[in-house]
Amino acid sequence: MFRIAHLEFEHYPLLLAPMEDVSDPPFRYVCKMFGADVVYSEFISADGLIRDSVKSIKKLDFEEFERPVGIQIFGNAVGPMVEAARYAETAHPDIIDINFGCPVKKVASKGAGSGIMNDILKMVAITKAVVEAVKTPVTVKTRLGYDDQHREIVEIAERLQDVGIAALTIHGRLRTTKYSEPADWTLIGAVKNNPRMHIPIIGNGDVVDGPSAKHFKETFGVDGLMIGRASYGNPWIFSQIRHYLETGEELPLPDVAERVRVSKIQLQRSVEWKGERIAIFEIRKHWASYFKGLPNFKPFKMRLMETLSVGEIIGILDEISQQYHPSEPRSQTSSSPTHLF
């Protein structure tokens, strides 16, 4: 049985990665519908939280349905990170996660996210202070190292464990590695197989389907898998991977009616949570994946990408459902509501 502090999981855990402008409550909701075991907030600036930034505070929102849920914070100094962790704890998440992995220039250039990986002493100091400041289990998400000359994750993992983190997620790229390059799991495996390590090690990077999940699980022995970009417009990836790990069979993509239904759920909840304008812009990154594989879909995609009206989007989605007549019953199941829109 897998555990993160007091949290227990009866089966092999699949986690939704924290992703800016992606892993918001509406998207976490649909991923949870399809079996994501743990979901994480978008990353939240420590400085933003302690300044009472409306945007940062809103990212603390979550529903009971999402549990277990982690709130992820990032920053480059002990004091603000401690204050932010205490603030995040008032939302009563199951986990507080520290982001030492974000490679985005505006974050890393300020010595936060993966930019802190060239200062291991500071990483450890921040982590130790946060662990000691809160009662909620603290986890860390990081990368293999700062650059190709500093692949120091084995040492970093030991030192973070020694100051009390409950689990460690490792993304198999360096701060300087582009996403076009494949993730390197060899050092993730080295951390997992280090006899000094006793906390759960979760692997992240290039987990895109059942076969890749099985390969990383069995080859490197990690305790769980975190799924990031492959979940865009693809919340059923969790149920598909679970099915493959348990049976060795690949499930087909859901039929068009199901894809339309689930996309409507995400859209409606997005509008309710962040307003129509922002919801329309942020869901655009999901449309291509929601309707992946449909022939001659480009005209529909262009219309979905251009419209500024939720009503028009709903109309387009209904057209899609009518155009691509599903010939088979829905291949995915969920516990979601059916009365939306």
Q: Which are the catalytic amino acids?
A: 102
CB–CB of 313/307 below 8 Å? yes
Distance in angstroms (rounded) separating the CA atoms of residues 57 and 17: 20
CB–CB of 20/43 below 8 Å? yes
CB–CB of 117/151 below 8 Å? no
Reading the block at residue 315, the tokens are: 């109309």
What's the start-to-end Cα distance of the chain, in Å?
A: 40
Q: Judging by beta carbons within 10 Å of its beta carbon (0-12, 13-18, 19+), is residue 212 exposed, middle or buried?
A: middle
**Count of beta carbons in the 10 Å neighbourhood of residue 1:** 6
CB–CB of 39/66 below 8 Å? yes
CB–CB of 85/128 below 8 Å? no
* Rg from Cα positions in the chain: 20
Distance in angstroms (rounded) separating the CA atoms of residues 334 and 322: 22
* Cis amide leading into 68 (omega within 30): yes
Q: Which amino acid is at 109?
A: S
CB–CB of 332/34 below 8 Å? yes
* 169 three-class SS: strand
